[in-house]
Structure 1
Amino acid sequence: MRQLRIALAQINSTVGDFKGNVRLIVDNIEKARAAGADLVAFPELAVPGYPPEDLLLKPSFIQANIKALDQVIAATRGITAVVGFVDRKSDLYNAAAIIHDGRLVAIYHKVHLPNYGVFDEQRYFNAGKACPVFGVAGVGVGFNVCEDIWFETGPATAQASAGAEVILNISASPYHHGKHHFRERMLSARAIDNAAIVAFCNMVGGQDELVFDGASVIFDVRGNTIARARQFEEELLVADLDVDGVLNKRRQDPVPPKKNRELSCDCIEKRIEIVGSKASAGRTALEKQVSVLLEPEAEVYKALVLGTRDYIHKNGFKGVIIGLSGGVDSSIVATIAVDALGHDAVHGLIMPSRFSSPLSAEYAEQLAANLGVETQTISIEQAYQAYLDSLSGVFSGVKPDVTEENIQARIRGNLLMALSNKFGWLVLNTGNKSEVATGYTTLYGDMAGGFAIIKDVPKTLVYRLCQYRNRSAGFDLVPQGVLKRVPSAELRPEQTDHDSLPPYDLLDPILLAYVEEDKSVEQIAAQGYDEKTVKKVARLVDGSEYKRRQAPPGIKITPKAFGRDRRLPITNKFREWGDLDENPEYWY
């Protein structure tokens, strides 16, 4: 049986850390060589990190990336490697360097440049035109980059038509919940349609608001999983590919010739031999490794932990501080932070007011004890009374309203920022997606912070994450009282969130339809929701765009997150919700 041993290096690059990225790449080359791999692959733009954004406009950044690639090339004695980098010709290209035995053999330029959602590659790169087939240990291999594999008649099809038995895609595929399912269905379909083995090497790690989940995977010619790496962890996945199985499948069901199919790119007809020796069949067989995919809540939770850890560590912060309210949002943020950073790096601040329930401090202290987090308590009462006294003349004759509520939130924001300045702790914002969407937040108050872990997590999912973490802990890490109490900002007597918002189990599906699915008010109401409620939610979302522009960055875990994914103008007169009988309510 003819075999090709392939290694997929699922690494966590950091944008601009050329020294660190090269070290990661070289270490994995050495591990792949020791494992007897014929070929080792690294993710898209593994050398400079992904996405570099406007660093690509700096010539010095491009030159540093090319120098770093030279160091990688020198480390490839006795092995073939495919490494993502930025190629500079007359223009810039998102490229894969094909390297063998200490020399650069060829460069592949990414053909399909995504320009939607979080992607804007057409801002920086030129598109490639060709997708050659290479001979690696006697096996025809087609290399391509990320978006290229998503096209049904793209480079993979062209390469298979030209004789590629293995299609290797290097990728930086950003995570959102459930994405791996349809990504794997697509990859399996590419393997079946092209009668080829498909290998997908994905990046892992956090980069600003993006998280990359890894889960590198290989499919055989029948679309079955050969191997899969773990999600959200660095790993070198090594597998033996049955190349004879490809030939047998093609004898039964030949790949249609290129001329019979309309392809999105051309393929160089000649085969470029990298190393001519035949793939070895005499090696000790490898144990099959197919990591099990995580359940939904576990998957989201691990994404948030990884995104938090990388944001804090890669940016060099000493630790974090969180305002602990005894509510579900601050509880899950603190829990994630401890799992990401360790309890010594997490600090809690309890800030009771005249409207705080005694249970709030009790739950906050119980959570902190469960997590091993040190807390301090500073009452906001004295500062709040000072504000009221200072404003009493100006506010004379005007009834109290949301203004007095927001003063309390802003005092808390000031206290958190004071401790942040003094001790070098980054403030972790505790706002969830439901609140961010509707503007149920206070500018310069509970919106204060350097990083918003659950910014893209709907409130109903926050509860499920707490329940998941309690199950995995084997006890109520997040106290049951936190999960059972009615949500409240506690900024006025007897206040609940539902005084101002629909219940979250009603609000979140409406937000999903309006924000993520771009459904109209009319379409959402046709699904059985009260039209007046839908209009109110839509109005709150539209009226809060200016606030979201001032919010800290946060981790993307849904298909459409606020910010990079969803970009609406602040100044905008388009209104789907029309006129409502009641006056609009906004929380500044």
Structure 2
Amino acid sequence: MTDLNFIRVASACPVTRVADVDFNIGNIKACISTAANEQAKLIVFPELCVTSYTCGDLFLQKRLLDAAEKAVEELCMYSKDKDVLIAVGAPLNLQTAVYNCAFIIFDGRILGIVPKSFIPNYEEFYEQRWFTSGKTITDRSVDLRFQKDIPFGVDLLFKSGPYQFGFEICEDLWSVIPPSSNIALSGANIIGNLSASNEIVSKSDYRKQLVTAQSARCMAAYLYAGTGVGESSTDVVFGGELLIAENGQMMAANERFQRENQVITSIIDADRLDLQRIKNISFREATSIVPWQIRKIGFDFKSNLFGLFDRKIDRHPFVPAEEKQREQRCREIFSIQTAALAKRLEHTGMKRVIIGISGGLDSTLALLVIVKTFDLLGLPRKNIMTVTLPGFGTTDRTYNNAVELCQNLKTDFYEVNIVAACLQHFKDIGHDPEVHDVTYENVQARERTQILMDLANKNGGLVIGTGDLSELALGWSTYNGDHMSMYAVNCSVPKTLVRYLVRYVAEKQSERKTGDILLDILDTPVTPELLPKSSEGKITQKTEDIVGPYELHDFFLYYFVRSEFTPDRIMFLAKSAFSGIYEEETIRKWLKVFIRRFFTQQFKRSAIPDGPKVGTVSLSPRGDWRMPSDASFSVWLKQL
């Protein structure tokens, strides 16, 4: 397996006493030890934690400034052989000015010193009384008593392999253009903020918003470390908030107001961040506006270990885990689908639609969207022609659900049995109807589509497609059969989400009888019903027995298309997400199937009808996924 470029990082709040440097250094060391034991490669401490933030006019005392420098030297010695990059806050006395700085330490040395750019002097903050802004300092070095020629400035970036670290201090994040924006554009994919932000009502919520938003804007990991309750409470209180975010997602956070040393950690996915930047053209173009030339300070971690892989990997990345958020997502998707269909109907002047109803999930969802759209436009539901097309494999359960659903929704119900037409077609093309091969199956799918298209012509309506995103990814459709329609409302809804959308309508937006039918449809195995039913009238053809579990394929699809991950990385994540559910070889088997089918079935996706994008993943050949139909999958399969 290739290096997957995961890294554990830490944010820490040591217990401090105001101006008690020796006490503070002891607790900083304890936090470093904790982070090292958990195999974190970076630890970010709060602003000025060596001295404490609330020293006031003591920052003008040479005794305190000398003690801080000596303490930094002690931390350098302590860091020897720790294999942890340490970002610790301390004042820097350059005789003519004092700077509020982040000292970046690794393996016995200061790699660089980053000064605070924006010095607040409003409300409860009076920093300009003591500190000088470093926002214009670039291409400079300083000497300390124990180390000479230390890079100093806002133009510093610290690089080890694929990991590039940048740092800013507290108020910098609150500025209009935070230094971290320029640092990220210069290559930093992990950014630390050494902070001392006091607590007032609702400020924590705003901090979290700032941190997550900046991590998303910079397409980076963002570590925030706030100073804690050991600070002076003369006028304000500090809560010691610790946050770790990655590309807009909060990965770890602590409980504020703790009275012991606090260290939180999270595993960061550097490859994911870098791939997002590659995809984002705006990010690439913005790199030309960085106001200074970056200085990259190289160093080497001794190992790439990150300890226990405790990063949460969602088994169903398309489906929010939290019920309230999931319900909101369902409402929003329905709004997108109905708005899209409404626009198409208004543009064409059509007031009728035709849809094939099988009693399965996809056609049910499409029908629910149509009904909602017609209600929105004030069109009569009788203008919705719902057509059931029973064939060789249609079971009583799916047939009855289809009929009852259409009747309950008060649509114009129509039935065409396709058996006789298919038998005639078998005869016309010389196919033995006892041979249940792909021809046997596809004849039925194309016959159904032909009927729907002809009914649309006869009745002046649009055929609404029912296929979903997962089927498009796998090519699980008959070319010019169920593959084709005049507008496809489900085309970017994955199968795992289809289930929740139907359940949402059943439980939240339906009267009891309709809801019961929808719940029974949800309990029916996913099937195209193209092979004859059993002697007991049961379904014999279950899609997931043939192509594999849709929850696995949706997982593969998300990380292959949305994140651009390699097969070995997808495999690694899937093993973590589905541990105890699927064996490793089962996951590997279906991942190989996904890759083969995704590549070989592109020709179907190159000729799909219009349909709305509802999420971050879409396979439209016009707007999202541009792939040649004859691309080889061999390079991808080699990793498996």
Taking structure 2 as the reference length, the TM-score comes to 0.45
Taking structure 1 as the reference length, the TM-score comes to 0.48
Q: Considering only CA atoms, is the larger Rg found in Structure 1 or Structure 2?
A: 2
